[in-house]
Structure 1
Amino acid sequence: MIGLWDTTGNEVVKALAAERRSAGGVASGLALTLIAVVEEKKVREAEAAATIAASAHPCRLLIVVRSDLDGRSRLDAEIVVGGRLGPAEAVVMRMYGRLALHAESVVMPLLAPDVPVVSWWHEEPPNMIANDFLGVVADRRITDSAQAPDPVAALRQRAIDYAPGDTDLTWTRITLWRSLVAGAFDATEARVIGAKIVAPAKDPTAWLMLGWLKARLNIEPTMEHTDRSPRLHSVELQCENGDYVRVTREEGTALFSRSGQEDRYMPLPRRAVGDELAEELRRLDADQIYADALGAMAGVAGLDHRLPMRVHVWKDPTLAARAAAPTDAMAG
């Protein structure tokens, strides 16, 4: 590992090039550049997740940590090639002061040549991705609405702000659920006429499951809130011929119930963030099924017809905070 304190972007580029030369073949064959926008307390989590994802998708990992926007501009960087991160190159950049608002000035020269760029927010997702140049420059953008104070509201905002190429780890977390529900109809052609989802009121995965069922089956699922489970608890489908299919989460498994058949247990493990991230990195094109589900959930039509490219819209959060300060003082 190389540590550079109070350095410049040019010095980081030189140090990465030198480390790549010394690492030799370890740094070859990069599949993509992964830009991770992370809170300081989650840097190690992001590194651990990227290590898992890099085992399937060797990448250059650029971790951006923004702090103290009103302080002195400074850049500290750590460079790791191979080693604890496996087949990945990593640059952890801690940016302070006004530099943090222009992270692209340091990040852009570090992008791996001729490979796709993916931006991943391992923190509360931005309200508008166009306000962050690190999202505008990316071919694919991964958020996690579950990290917002109000996850369901954050997921609805993802629909308002959507552009093809966006995705959310909330969607990835119901992959196994969707597989179980869809697999129930491999041996029947009975039409589904209703669905009921049991989950906590603020579980975004449950609402996205509702959107998926609504979009794919052209029905209006109902939501039943519960405090029995911290996550999506069960999904039940009612068929036109009177049959039902129910998938219920138990500890690490799913109880699969179907009218006229014996109950079965199926695997339903809780996956690590790195596994979820690796799944999303398998595809670099727009996910139309996700767009349909998100639009149906939020009541926003035509998401997949929007333009895939965003235009950067500059926003200075420090100015917004200063403008609000006098109002807060008068209110006090």
Structure 2
Amino acid sequence: MTTLWDTTGSAVVKELAAQRRTGGAVLSGVALTLVVVADEGRVAEAEEAATAAAEQHPCRLLIVVRRQIEAPSPRLDAEVLIGGRLGPGEAVVMRMYGRLGLHAESVVLPLLAADAPVVTWWHGAPPERLATDALAVIADRRITDTSLADDQLAALRTRAADYSPGDTDLAWTRSTPWRATLTSTVDSVSGRRGDVVRVRGGRVEGEPGNATAELLAGWLSARCGCEVTVTEGDRRPGPSGVCSVVLQLDQDEEVRVTADRRGGALIAQPYRPEATVALPDRQLGDLIGEELRRLDPDEPFAEALEATTGVHGLADRSPVREHVWFDPAEVRGGDGEPLPTVPLDSQGSDDAAEHGEHDTQEVSR
């Protein structure tokens, strides 16, 4: 590992190339570039999860830590590692001070693996509009986590309003074991009856307002064509926010899947004995690893988000975002809202940039 203090982006690129030559590392096996945006307080957790994901998917790992945006002068400190504590591949941890943090893409862009997809993950609160962060605009896939928000339902509505194909959320990823178990259970009932089972209604018992529980109910509603609600569970839910799921089928039958405290679930279905299946709560690195398996738009997530928030037409939106320059340090009015600004012209006026005005440009990968 090499630590560069008060350095530049060019020096980081050169150091990475020098370490690759010295260590004999090759880039041919890199499948993607994973850009992680985290606050200083979450860096250790983000590094651990990203390392676990990188072991599953060879990638170049770039961790961006924006610190002290109000600092009077910009500064970049970087750690460059190949085959070190952040996994077997190449990794760079960049701590950006001052206004450099608002232009993190100026350091990140030269470090992207050539001809490889880019995935950006915010381990913390993402921007309300992802287009205000160039690290979102350059990404083919964007990962957020609404479960970290104080008001998770409001965070889901924000993500729906700002949705673009390629977006996903770890609250949705946490529902994968539940979705797989429910699908296989209903399929087994169909196999026993020899016809298609229709779900007439149901409920998700757990923590109302929990993003995972709400998205699971939204997914069931969208797929089954009936209303599935979230109700308070009769016991404390696990990390996923779900205690059990009850589905009412046609012919007055019912399926219930109930999570236990040992990382499993008890399945009760018509005319069969109760069965137990594994339903573990997965680590953060496993969740990121799952999302890195697919880089195409997650249409089931869009359907679940539509049903949960009532915002429709998400899958029909353009996957191309326009970068909107937004300066959080700009002067604000008495109500706390940003004062109106004028977009930069096509020449990119330096005078406008100095006053924190918006620069809108289309970026397509």
Fold shared, TM-score > 0.5 on shorter chain: yes
Structure-to-structure mapping, 1:256-267, within 5 angstroms = 256-267=267-278
* CA–CA separation in structure 2 for the residues paired with 1:22 and 1:42: 32
Displacement of 1:140 in angstroms is 0.5
RMSD between aligned alpha carbons? Answer: 1.4
Q: Deviations over 1:46-94 (max 9, x none)?
A: 1111111111211111100111111021110011111222222111000
Residue in structure 2 matched with residue 213 of structure 1 by the alignment: 220
Residue in structure 1 matched with residue 166 of structure 2 by the alignment: 165
Of 258-267 and 18-27, the range deviating more from structure 2? 18-27
* CA–CA separation in structure 2 for the residues paired with 1:284 and 1:9: 28
Q: Secondary structure of the equivalent of 1:25?
A: coil
Structure-to-structure mapping, 1:233-244, within 5 angstroms = 233-244=243-254
Structure-to-structure mapping, 1:82-121, within 5 angstroms = 82-121=83-122
Given the superposition, is the C-alpha separation of residues 186 and 58 from structure 1 closer, same or farther in structure 2, using an over 3 Å criterion? same
Displacement of 1:28 in angstroms is 4.2
1:250 aligns with 2:260: yes
1:203 aligns with 2:210: yes
* CA–CA separation in structure 1 for the residues paired with 2:314 and 2:102: 29
Displacement of 1:323 in angstroms is 1.8
Residue in structure 2 matched with residue 138 of structure 1 by the alignment: 139
1:45 aligns with 2:70: no
**Maintained 8 Å contact 1:196/1:222:** yes
Structure 1 gap segments, 5+ residues each: none
* CA–CA separation in structure 2 for the residues paired with 1:40 and 1:122: 11
Q: Deviations over 1:92-115 (max 9, x none)?
A: 000011110010111111111010
Displacement of 1:26 in angstroms is 5.8
The percentage of aligned residue pairs carrying the same residue is: 54
1:185 aligns with 2:192: no
What one-letter code is carried by the residue in structure 2 that aligns with 1:169? L
Q: Secondary structure of the equivalent of 1:84?
A: coil
* CA–CA separation in structure 2 for the residues paired with 1:198 and 1:133: 39
**Maintained 8 Å contact 2:60/2:113:** yes
**TM-score normalised by L of structure 1:** 0.94
Which has a greater percent of helix? 1
**Maintained 8 Å contact 2:35/2:62:** yes
* CA–CA separation in structure 1 for the residues paired with 2:22 and 2:255: 57
**Maintained 8 Å contact 1:145/1:170:** yes
Residue in structure 1 matched with residue 128 of structure 2 by the alignment: 127
Residue in structure 1 matched with residue 280 of structure 2 by the alignment: 269
Residue in structure 2 matched with residue 20 of structure 1 by the alignment: 20
Residue in structure 2 matched with residue 54 of structure 1 by the alignment: 54
* CA–CA separation in structure 2 for the residues paired with 1:298 and 1:100: 32
Displacement of 1:25 in angstroms is 3.2
Structure 2 gap segments, 5+ residues each: 191-195, 337-365
Residue in structure 2 matched with residue 81 of structure 1 by the alignment: 82
Residue in structure 1 matched with residue 193 of structure 2 by the alignment: none
* CA–CA separation in structure 1 for the residues paired with 2:89 and 2:101: 24
Count residues with an aligned counterpart: 325
What one-letter code is carried by the residue in structure 2 that aligns with 1:180? T
What one-letter code is carried by the residue in structure 2 that aligns with 1:196? R
Q: Deviations over 1:140-181 (max 9, x none)?
A: 101111111212211121111110001101111010100010
* CA–CA separation in structure 1 for the residues paired with 2:335 and 2:316: 41
* CA–CA separation in structure 1 for the residues paired with 2:144 and 2:251: 40
* CA–CA separation in structure 1 for the residues paired with 2:33 and 2:54: 11
**TM-score normalised by L of structure 2:** 0.86
* CA–CA separation in structure 2 for the residues paired with 1:125 and 1:219: 32
**Maintained 8 Å contact 2:207/2:230:** no
Q: Deviations over 1:273-324 (max 9, x none)?
A: 11111110011111111111111111111111110010001111111xx525
* CA–CA separation in structure 1 for the residues paired with 2:335 and 2:219: 43
| Equivalent of 2:309 in 295, 298, 303 | 298
Displacement of 1:222 in angstroms is 2.1
Q: Deviations over 1:112-158 (max 9, x none)?
A: 10100000001112211101000000001011111112122111211
